[in-house]
């Protein structure tokens, strides 16, 4: 079996890996590192949580150390673009950890914080710069950062970059880079737009694919619960009554929805914090720190945070609302079952989300085992309590329009993708009835008949428990 010592990495890197307890590379590391050590461009397709950061960080540090030189003022030798602040910070931390014996200068820049410290760091010259596209564009425009001497360019999480509307900023940044450079392109999925962008950036790339596009993590036990939109909060509270849900990420489609769900969980006595693009960097860092420390059981997040949350021991992921983009489902549930552990993903699906569910099951080439909790008397009674704890969602259409835009680093989630119908969160539109309901979990008028849309067994009472997903 391949060991890190077989890959030809510099001794200081091997010492750092040993200190971290790493001896054997993951599949993407074992396949990608030899190509990158040769200086080749690389197209890597791998899910989050597969060790992708080390796959590019280690050979980059090796190359920079093999040719030591001081970076010129306001320049960087290696540039890594990341879609979110959290992911950018984690990547920078990985570079610092692996390069602890190499005396490398690593800096991270992103929006939501003041420019002063970033300008000061860039002024001295940087070996490795990790940045979000929006803030990097700002520095380029202000001439506080220059890219004409960058030797290595990494585009990480390319598909999410596209979702967040970063295609134009990426092309602007690439236009500032020297023609002679090594390009590393990583993406968890490969939609056609990403394939086109890869073709523009990469020159005769080596290709490494660890999992098929849109394949969900094998060790995640997935469950689908059909429920009326207005009863989702009551069902969520019921789920958290199980102690097994000890460290849970709850995903919503909108920022306002994330705040509402977090407030409702707090009202139910469940420690919760929300994290999304409208939060300040300090708020995001405090929420994530509290979640990592176990100070709160639930972290309620939007998709912008889906790939930036790298927390060990996440027991469950709950999709309070299904994502508009099916690939986002893969990244959401990938927050659990990391580093070889197992995990549980529970998705709540209302009638107006059926089209989203169909897209997800088509993209992931699977049917999710389902249970029917519609017309449930227990949930009906609990919903009355839920409405007393927190007001129901506003029923005015368009109330949450625009909330799915990216944070200030982005230009909008769907700018460069085929537009999908906007399915509003629970309470914003009436569930569809009639033919659409039948055959998808038994139908709202016949909840006890047939099998669920996902092929799992159907129940009509509150007997299902998260423990059943184990």
Q: What pLDDT score does 396 carry?
A: 38
Q: State yes or no: pLDDT of 412 exceeds 60.
A: no
Distance CA 151, CA 181 (A): 5
Residue of 175 and 439 predicted with greater confidence: 175
Q: State yes or no: pLDDT of 54 exceeds 50.
A: yes
Q: What pLDDT score does 278 carry?
A: 82
Q: State yes or no: pLDDT of 310 exceeds 80.
A: no
Torsion, Cα 129 134 140 142, to 10 degrees, reads -120
Residue 8, burial from CB neighbour count under 10 angstroms (0-12, 13-18, 19+)? exposed
Task: Give the pLDDT confidence of 121-174 residue by residue, as tens digits.
Answer: 999 999 999 999 999 999 999 999 999 999 999 999 888 888 778 889 999 999
Q: What pLDDT score does 237 carry?
A: 93
Q: What pLDDT score does 85 carry?
A: 86
Q: State yes or no: pLDDT of 236 exceeds 60.
A: yes
User: What's the whole-number average pLDDT of the chain?
Assistant: 81
Q: State yes or no: pLDDT of 36 exceeds 50.
A: yes
Q: State yes or no: pLDDT of 447 exceeds 50.
A: no
- Helical (H) or strand (E) element with 125: none
CATH of domain 220-469: 3.40.50.300
Residue of 294 and 338 predicted with greater confidence: 294
- Give the 3-state secondary structure of residue 251: strand
Q: What pLDDT score does 195 carry?
A: 86
Residue 114, burial from CB neighbour count under 10 angstroms (0-12, 13-18, 19+)? exposed
Please give the average per-residue pLDDT across 197-202, as a whole number: 92
Q: What pLDDT score does 308 carry?
A: 60
Distances (CA, A) of 179 to 152, 175, 202: 11, 9, 11
Concatenated DSSP letters of 305-328: GTTT---TT--EEEESS--SSHHH
Q: What pLDDT score does 469 carry?
A: 53
The tally of CA atoms less than 13 A away on the side-chain side of residue 304 is 28
CATH 3.40.50.300 maps onto the chain at: 4-209, 220-469
Distances (CA, A) of 172 to 175, 317, 413: 5, 36, 18
Q: What pLDDT score does 50 carry?
A: 76
CB 332 within 8 A of CB 307: no
CATH of domain 4-209: 3.40.50.300
How many other β-carbons are positioned within 10 Å of the β-carbon of residue 271? 15
Please give the average per-residue pLDDT across 319-324, as a whole number: 94
Q: What pLDDT score does 466 carry?
A: 55
- Give the 3-state secondary structure of residue 41: coil
Q: What pLDDT score does 214 carry?
A: 53
In this structure, of 107-121, 223-237, 382-396, the range with the lowest mean pLDDT score is: 382-396
Which two tokens mark 419?
């537009």
pTM of the model: 0.63
Task: Give the pLDDT confidence of 2-12 residue by residue, as tens digits.
Answer: 899 999 999 99
Q: State yes or no: pLDDT of 382 exceeds 50.
A: yes
**Residue 405 pLDDT grade (very low, low, confident, very high; cuts 50, 70, 90):** very low
- Candidates 241, 240, 283; CA nearest to 259 is 283
Q: State yes or no: pLDDT of 439 exceeds 70.
A: no
Residue of 89 and 421 predicted with greater confidence: 89
- Candidates 6, 5, 49, 1; CA nearest to 28 is 49
Q: What pLDDT score does 191 carry?
A: 75
Q: What is the widest separation between alpha-carbon atoms in the chain?
A: 71
Task: Give the pLDDT confidence of 451-467 residue by residue, as tens digits.
Answer: 333 333 333 344 455 55
Distance CA 106, CA 30 (A): 24
Q: State yes or no: pLDDT of 217 exceeds 80.
A: no
Which two tokens mark 105?
């200068």
Distances (CA, A) of 413 to 277, 399, 417: 12, 18, 8
Residue 214, burial from CB neighbour count under 10 angstroms (0-12, 13-18, 19+)? buried
Handedness of CA 34, 37, 40, 42 (dihedral sign): positive
Three-class HEC string of 260-306: HHHHHHHHCCCCEEEECCCCCHHHHHHHHHHHHHCCCCEEEECHHHC
């Amino acid at each position: 079996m391949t060991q890190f010592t077989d890959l030809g990495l510099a001794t200081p890197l091997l010492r750092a890996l040993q200190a971290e307890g790493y001896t054997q590379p993951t599949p993407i590391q074992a396949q990608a590192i030899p190509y990158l050590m040769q200086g080749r461009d690389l197209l890597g397709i791998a899910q989050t949580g597969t060790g992708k950061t080390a796959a590019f960080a280690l050979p980059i540090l090796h190359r920079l150390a093999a040719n030591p030189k001081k970076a010129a003022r306001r320049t960087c030798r290696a540039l890594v673009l990341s879609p979110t602040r959290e992911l950018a910070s984690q990547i920078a931390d990985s570079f610092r950890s692996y390069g602890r014996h190499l005396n490398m200068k690593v800096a991270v820049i992103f929006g939501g914080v003041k420019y002063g410290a970033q300008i000061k760091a860039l002024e001295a010259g940087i070996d490795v710069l990790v940045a979000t596209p929006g803030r990097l564009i700002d520095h380029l425009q202000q001439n506080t950062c220059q890219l004409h001497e960058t030797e290595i360019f990494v585009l990480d999480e390319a598909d999410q970059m596209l979702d967040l509307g970063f295609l134009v900023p990426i092309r602007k940044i690439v236009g500032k880079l020297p023609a002679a450079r090594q390009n590393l392109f990583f993406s968890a999925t490969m939609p056609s737009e990403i394939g086109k962008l890869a073709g523009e950036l990469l020159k005769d790339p080596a290709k490494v694919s660890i999992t098929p596009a849109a394949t969900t993590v094998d060790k995640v036990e997935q469950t689908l619960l059909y429920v009326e939109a207005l009863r989702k909060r009551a069902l969520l509270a019921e789920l958290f009554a199980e102690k097994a849900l000890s460290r849970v990420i709850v995903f919503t489609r909108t920022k306002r929805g994330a705040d509402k769900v977090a407030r409702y969980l707090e009202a139910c006595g469940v420690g919760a914090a929300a994290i999304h693009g409208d939060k300040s960097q300090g708020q995001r860092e405090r929420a994530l720190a509290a979640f990592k420390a176990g100070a709160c059981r639930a972290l309620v997040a939007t998709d912008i945070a889906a790939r930036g949350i790298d927390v060990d021991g996440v027991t469950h992921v709950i999709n309070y609302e299904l994502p508009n983009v099916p690939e986002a489902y893969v990244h959401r549930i990938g927050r659990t079952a990391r580093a070889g552990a197992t995990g549980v993903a529970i998705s709540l699906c209302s009638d107006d989300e059926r089209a989203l569910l169909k897209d997800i099951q088509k993209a992931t080439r699977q049917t999710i085992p389902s249970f029917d909790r519609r017309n449930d008397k227990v949930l009906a009674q609990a919903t009355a309590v839920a409405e007393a704890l927190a007001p129901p969602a506003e029923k005015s259409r368009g109330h949450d329009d625009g909330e799915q835009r990216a944070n200030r680093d982005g230009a909008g989630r769907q700018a460069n993708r085929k537009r999908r119908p906007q399915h509003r969160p629970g309470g914003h539109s009436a569930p569809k009835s009639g033919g659409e309901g039948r055959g998808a979990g038994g139908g709202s008028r016949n909840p006890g008949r047939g099998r669920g849309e996902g092929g799992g067994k159907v129940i009509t009472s509150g007997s299902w428990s998260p423990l059943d997903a184990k």
